[in-house]
């Protein structure tokens, strides 16, 4: 199926979901680590629009945007289907993945670097968004609704990967055991899958990185 | 294929693309106009997450987010295929539609309500984004790359529909004939398609609406 290269960064939760997908599909690929603070000519050549990782390069043709890449991987390589077979369920998976990236990922980072009253509002808003995910996962093992993880589980995999680090860096709690029991149970189940766990980046390195970007955001305010 | 209802607003460029798709597919549907400034219980019931139009309700099951709806329509009803058949081309269509919504739609509205130096920056940034679309359409009739319009043409259909109104309301020019000849030629070709043209909302009503929301944004600054 041709040459596959992934330009990524171990600090990027958007890259990790792509790596999980490639591993689930059993795709052989070359991984190229990029430096977020000193972007390589390779990255700028392959993603001149956003200049961001991840970029999947398949037979010399680049694809950016992690959710677009996940769908491409699912449609290109057979085995371990990621998106649901039913078109309504597929639409729901796309809807919730977009929602989580826009409201939960961005909401958590916003809450981490804000201060005072703005921080309180950002925390409340992020928690309202997480509450939709809690409701969605109630009574299910995985977001796929199946016995195996799927597209939406991968898209939400940043929660066990780094939400607690973002909370620590931001000096706040967003998702606690009392209000989010099902979401946290899902996170534990997901993180125990060997293929998922083995691609978790070193915790200290990730914490250092988040401290750095939250600091940069704060200094720009 | 069951009952189809579209909850929309004639002022929403995100609704118009869904209507175009339904008409291209020949789907019979009931249209329910919602009031953006006084949202209906029907809308709040079917899109409790974002509380926004458009919502497509198919056999009682709601789908929100216009790009998600377009893909659902394409996968559910045959005839007049919207997304490309090739998986790489399909990924590119998704990439550019997301890019245009995030950078060109939002960028144009931002530029319209900002003032002074911030406005200059927003205009420059929006024009940089439109330049990617200009490059993409050079030498092609439609963004689909075919003789017929497709998913990406529908996603960009707001350009002939209302970009000049946003420019007028914002007292600025974003896309001119000198720098964007191919994009403007595409816009003219697209707007001349009878099925597209007949769903253009009244220009005065749209201008009044944009004046109102830009005014609201300015008063909140």
Per-residue pLDDT reduced to its tens digit, B50-91: 999 999 999 999 999 999 999 999 999 998 999 999 999 999
pLDDT for residue A221 is more than 80: no
Residue B155: predicted pLDDT = 98
Helix axes B116-137, B87-99, angle to 10 degrees: 160
Indicate if A212 and A183 belong to the same structural domain.
yes
Q: How many residues can be counted in chain B?
A: 221
Mean pLDDT of A118-123: 97
Residue A101: predicted pLDDT = 98
A26 inside domain: yes
Q: Is B162 helix (H, G, I), strand (E, B) or coil?
A: helix
Indicate if B150 and B180 belong to the same structural domain.
yes
Which of residues A50, A76, A102 is at a domain's end?
A76
Residue A215: predicted pLDDT = 87
A150 inside domain: yes
**With an 8 Å Cβ cutoff, is B75 touching chain A?**
yes
B82 inside domain: no
Model confidence at A125, pLDDT cuts 50, 70, 90, reads: very high
Closest chain A CA to residue B49: A132
Indicate if B41 and B8 belong to the same structural domain.
yes
Residue A220: predicted pLDDT = 77
Q: What is the CATH number of the domain that holds B61?
A: 3.40.30.10
Instruction: Name which of B51, B75, B87 to mutate to probe chain A: the one with the most chain A Cβ atoms within 10 A of its Cβ.
Output: B87
Q: Report B:109-138 residues touching A (Cβ under 8 A).
A: 132
**With an 8 Å Cβ cutoff, is B205 touching chain A?**
no
A44 CA: distance to closest CA in chain B (Å)? 15
pLDDT for residue A132 is more than 90: yes
Which of residues B76, B104, B121 is at a domain's end?
B76
pLDDT for residue A148 is more than 90: yes
Model confidence at A217, pLDDT cuts 50, 70, 90, reads: confident
Indicate if A94 and A15 belong to the same structural domain.
no
Indicate if A69 and A114 belong to the same structural domain.
no
pLDDT for residue A218 is more than 90: no
Mean pLDDT of A161-172: 96
Domain that residue B17 falls in: 4-76
A82 inside domain: no
d(CA B5, CA B7): 7
d(CA A199, CA A186): 18
Indicate if A67 and A105 belong to the same structural domain.
no
Residue B221: predicted pLDDT = 63
B81 inside domain: no
Counting residues of chain A whose pLDDT is more than 70, the rounded percentage is: 99
Residue B170: predicted pLDDT = 95
pLDDT for residue A185 is more than 90: yes
Instruction: Name which of A91, A103, A130 to mutate to probe chain B: the one with the most chain B Cβ atoms within 10 A of its Cβ.
Output: A91
Residue B3: predicted pLDDT = 97
A203 inside domain: yes
What phi and psi values does residue B62 have, to the nearest 5 degrees? -85, 145
B203 CA: distance to closest CA in chain A (Å)? 31
B148, B94 in Cβ contact below 8 A?
A: no
Mean pLDDT of A97-113: 97
B101, B95 in Cβ contact below 8 A?
A: no
Indicate if A53 and A103 belong to the same structural domain.
no
Residue A92: predicted pLDDT = 98
Indicate if B91 and B66 belong to the same structural domain.
no
A195 inside domain: yes
The tens place of each residue's pLDDT in chain B, 221 residues long, gives 689 999 999 999 999 999 999 999 999 999 999 998 999 999 999 999 999 999 999 999 999 999 999 999 999 999 899 999 999 999 999 999 999 999 999 999 999 999 999 999 999 999 999 999 999 999 999 999 999 999 999 999 999 999 999 999 999 999 999 999 999 999 999 999 999 999 998 899 899 999 998 888 888 76
B48 CA: distance to closest CA in chain A (Å)? 10
DSSP class of residue B8 equals E
Task: Please spell the DSSP secondary structure of chain A, one letter per residue.
Answer: ---EEEEE-TT-HHHHHHHHHHHHHT---EEEE--TTS--HHHHHH-TTT--S-EEEETTEEEESHHHHHHHHHHHS-SS--S-SSHHHHHHHHHHHHHIIIIIIHHHHHHHH--HHHHHHHHHHHHHHHHHHHHHHTT-SSTTSSSS--HHHHHTTHIIIIIHHHHHHHT--SS-TTT-HHHHHHHHHHHTSHHHHTTPPPHHHHHHHHHHHHHHHHHH-
Q: What is the CATH number of the domain that holds A124?
A: 1.20.1050.10
Which of residues A76, A96, A119 is at a domain's end?
A76
**With an 8 Å Cβ cutoff, is A87 touching chain B?**
yes
Indicate if A99 and A133 belong to the same structural domain.
yes
Indicate if A15 and A99 belong to the same structural domain.
no
Indicate if A55 and A148 belong to the same structural domain.
no
Question: pLDDT per residue over A38-79, tens digit each?
Answer: 999 999 999 999 999 999 999 999 999 999 999 999 999 998
Count up the domains in chain A and report the number.
2
B210 inside domain: yes
Indicate if B71 and B94 belong to the same structural domain.
no
């Amino acid at each position: 199926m041709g040459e596959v290269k992934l330009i990524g960064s171990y600090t990027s939760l958007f890259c990790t979901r792509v790596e999980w997908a490639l591993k689930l599909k059993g795709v052989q690929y070359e991984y190229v680590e990029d430096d977020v603070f000193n972007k390589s000519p390779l990255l700028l050549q392959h993603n001149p629009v956003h200049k961001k990782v991840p970029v999947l390069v398949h037979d010399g043709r680049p694809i950016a945007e992690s959710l677009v890449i996940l769908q491409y991987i699912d449609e290109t390589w057979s085995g371990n289907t990621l998106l649901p077979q039913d078109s309504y369920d597929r639409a729901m998976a796309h809807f919730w993945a977009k929602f989580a990236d826009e409201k939960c990922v961005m909401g958590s980072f916003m809450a981490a670097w804000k201060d005072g009253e703005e921080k309180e509002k950002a925390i409340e808003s992020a928690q309202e968004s997480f509450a939709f995910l809690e409701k969605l996962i109630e009574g299910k093992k995985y977001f796929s609704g199946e016995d195996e993880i799927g597209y939406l589980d991968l898209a939400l995999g940043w929660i066990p990967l780094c939400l607690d680090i973002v909370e620590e860096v931001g000096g706040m709690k967003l998702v606690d055991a009392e209000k989010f029991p099902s979401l946290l149970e899902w996170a534990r189940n997901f993180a125990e899958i060997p293929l998922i766990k083995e691609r978790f980046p070193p915790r200290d390195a990730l914490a250092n990185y988040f401290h750095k970007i939250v600091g940069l955001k704060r200094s720009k305010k």
